[in-house]
Amino acid sequence: MIDRIGHRFVRPDLLEQALTHRSAGAPHNERLEFLGDALVNMIIAEALYAHWPQADEGALTRARAELVRESALAPIARTLELGARLTLGPGEMKSGGHRRDSILADALEAVVAAIYLDAGFETCRAAVLPWFDSAIAVLPPPHKVGKDAKTRLQEWLQGRQKPLPQYHLMDARGEDHERIFLVRCETTDPVAVAESEAGSRRAAEQLAAEQVLELLQASTRRAP
């Protein structure tokens, strides 16, 4: 656990509190989450400022919002295996709270604050930045940041006066608190089809749209 986080705590009680949900009683992680939210925003803002020296304020703001939103933080928490270490009240345990994006994202921010309080800002930044390296590396160009895959696919087709894509729900399975949706995205001119799964229909549509857009762009690049 310590190795995945990238920091060895002098005060393990800070980490313990960071991983304690309010449903389990006090001391819980809400105050740490508040501090961690500000720290993550600062660390990512600084990283983007260096990554995109020519980007304007609007692009930087949109990129930061993409990187620090709940749906971006939760996968990092899963990579760090925070869910297995969360202390939850009986109700949250029964409902699968250790898998919920909101709880995982909040816990990640709380862990960031715990590192900061344990060892200071420089150590905190050094531990946290590697968590976001891959996400920063694959950011689209500054002028495209903030546009989701469905929007970009629609604009790509409209710009070429082509029919809009169609989305079809192919399957939905699992318990209510951990449903998995399978969605197909397809275009007719040019023809491209992709299917993706995710924990919400909207997320699955976005993933499928991203794949279709990549197929269309690749096809355009190959055309003589």
In the annotated binding site, the residues are 33, 106, 109
Which residues does 62 contact at the CB level (< 8 Å), separation at least 6? 145, 146
Instruction: Please tell me which residue in 3, 16, 30, 37 is annotated as part of the active site.
Output: 37
Q: Catalytic site residue 109?
A: yes
Q: What is the DSSP letter of 186?
A: E
37 catalytic? Reply is yes
Q: Is residue 183 a contact partner of residue 195, using CB atoms and an 8 Å limit?
A: yes
Q: Is the Cβ–Cβ distance between 58 and 48 less than 8 Å?
A: no
Annotated binding site for Mg(2+): 33, 106, 109
Using DSSP's 3-state secondary structure scheme, residue 162 falls into coil
25: alpha, beta or left? (left if phi > 0; alpha if psi -120 to 50): left
Spatial contact of 115 and 124, defined as CB atoms under 8 Å apart:
yes
Tell me which of 92, 101, 109, 210 is the catalytic residue.
109
What does 85-106 look like in DSSP terms, one character per residue?
G-B--HHHHHTTGGG-HHHHHH
How far CA 169 is from CA of 180, 183, 204, in Å, comes to 11, 5, 9
CB contact at 8 A, 32 and 114: yes
**Residues labelled as active-site residues:** 37, 109
